[in-house]
Structure 1
Amino acid sequence: MVFPSAPPCTQPITWQGFLLTVETPKPSITSSNSKPSKADTVTLTCEPEIKDANYLWWINGESPPSSSRLQLSNDNRTLILFSVTEKDAGHYECEVKNPVSASRSDPVTLKVLHGPDFPRISPSKTVYHQGRNLRLSCFADSNPPAEYHWIVNGMRRLKGKEVHVPRITTKNSGLYGCFVRNSATGKRNLVFKEIKVVDASECSLGFYDLIQ
């Protein structure tokens, strides 16, 4: 018995399918040290770990600068900052991308604890005329801000950045010291300034002009 052969298939076959897209979840940043001190090492990690995703980092809205103190892991998911300084403080973000979507983390603010640096007393003037007002201010770069105390002729007198003595007399002459302390770093510093108060009898015309 001979069976007739089937007619050749001349109609095109159409395949219908679905393209599956996976949106990246919003990432977050974990830090190995939330309050690093100057010269510490900080490791920032972008979470979660996503297979076949690309990781990008942003520092203050820009790509990380080329620096021997910055190192990225092979997958860019981890950013390591060696020997941090005040210049490393700022806002850090990570971004996760795949071929169809991208998502960026909320910024994490890195604050580097440092200081206080050597304090400075202003103004530079050291000689004052009796009866005038004496106002001195002190500043030392520090994070968090330093605590300020004034030491006048060996006695701790005032707390704060400024010292103000109205209508000074010759008894107000002496050493004015500014003591600064950072409770977070445990560091402290001290500077002195010698102030001389003269009365009118000590002032020649030329010298009086200099101390006005």
Structure 2
Amino acid sequence: MQCSVSSGSSLSFLWMNGSFPVTTSSRVQITNGNSTLAITNVTRYDSGPFSCYAFNPVSNGTSGPVNFTISYGPDSMALTVNGSSGTSFPVGSNLTLLCSANSSPPAQLQWAFRGNLMNSTGTMLELFQVTQDQSGPYTCLAFNNITNVNNRITKDIIISSKFLCFSK
């Protein structure tokens, strides 16, 4: 990014990321009298908003903010069943599986059961009045169409019969 002003002399420049000054590092270089900001090996945390503050003893001004769209993921996936990490449920339960993935843009989510794609997409899969034959691995598949990255998380769910114990 290059910062320039239409007029003025003895100018100084300061780059800001939000309300914090940008500092140099192995990835961040500020050159040309601090008027140029270069970032290499961009990460998801380099999105901005970046602005340039130009000043001299007489006046000052700040550029408008610049935000970058940085695509990443999907990663850091999580899969919960009924809001917990549990994996064993009794026959007849209603189950809500929730899947999440860190991704920009948001990942496309697809569900699979025992390795076969289900006709269900999105963050939530609902199963009602489950039976024992619904035991097995449930997989949430995530895809980011910009990064072309696929990721998955699987949870093996056990649906067990209700056992009644009688004592004499």
- Relative to the length of structure 1, the TM-score reads 0.70
Tell whether 2:71 aligns with 1:143: no
For 1:204 and 1:182, how far apart are their aligned partners in 2? 50
For 1:111 and 1:133, how far apart are their aligned partners in 2? 39
For 2:4 and 2:149, how far apart are their aligned partners in 1? 35
Larger fraction in strand? 2
Within a 5 Å distance, the mapping from 1:40-119 to structure 2 comes to 44-48=1-5, 52-119=10-77
Equivalent position amino acid for 2:85 in 1: S
For 2:157 and 2:108, how far apart are their aligned partners in 1? 23
Which position in structure 2 is the counterpart of 1:156?
A: 117
> What is the CA distance between 1:49 and its match in structure 2?
7.0
Are 1:118 and 1:190, in contact at CA under 8 Å, matched by a contact in 2?
no
Give the RMSD, CA atoms, in angstroms: 2.0
Sequence identity of aligned pairs in percent? Answer: 32
> What is the CA distance between 1:179 and its match in structure 2?
0.2
Equivalent position amino acid for 2:29 in 1: Q
> What is the CA distance between 1:66 and its match in structure 2?
4.5
Question: In structure 1, the residue corresponding to 2:154 is in which secondary structure?
Answer: strand
- Relative to the length of structure 2, the TM-score reads 0.87
Are 2:75 and 2:101, in contact at CA under 8 Å, matched by a contact in 1?
yes
Question: In structure 1, the residue corresponding to 2:104 is in which secondary structure?
Answer: coil
Unmatched tracts of structure 2, length 5 or more? none
Tell whether 2:153 aligns with 1:191: yes
Tell whether 2:87 aligns with 1:126: yes
For 2:10 and 2:67, how far apart are their aligned partners in 1? 28
For 1:144 and 1:204, how far apart are their aligned partners in 2? 52
> What is the CA distance between 1:86 and its match in structure 2?
2.0
* Residues 71 and 147 (structure 1), Cα distance of their counterparts in 2 relative to 1, 3 Å cut: same
Equivalent position amino acid for 2:4 in 1: E
For 1:204 and 1:77, how far apart are their aligned partners in 2? 78
Question: In structure 1, the residue corresponding to 2:102 is in which secondary structure?
Answer: coil
> What is the CA distance between 1:74 and its match in structure 2?
3.1
State the Cα deviation string for residues 108-161 of structure 1 (Å, max 9, x = none). 112321111142211321111001111111111111111111001222111001
Aligned residue-pair number: 161
* Residues 76 and 49 (structure 1), Cα distance of their counterparts in 2 relative to 1, 3 Å cut: farther
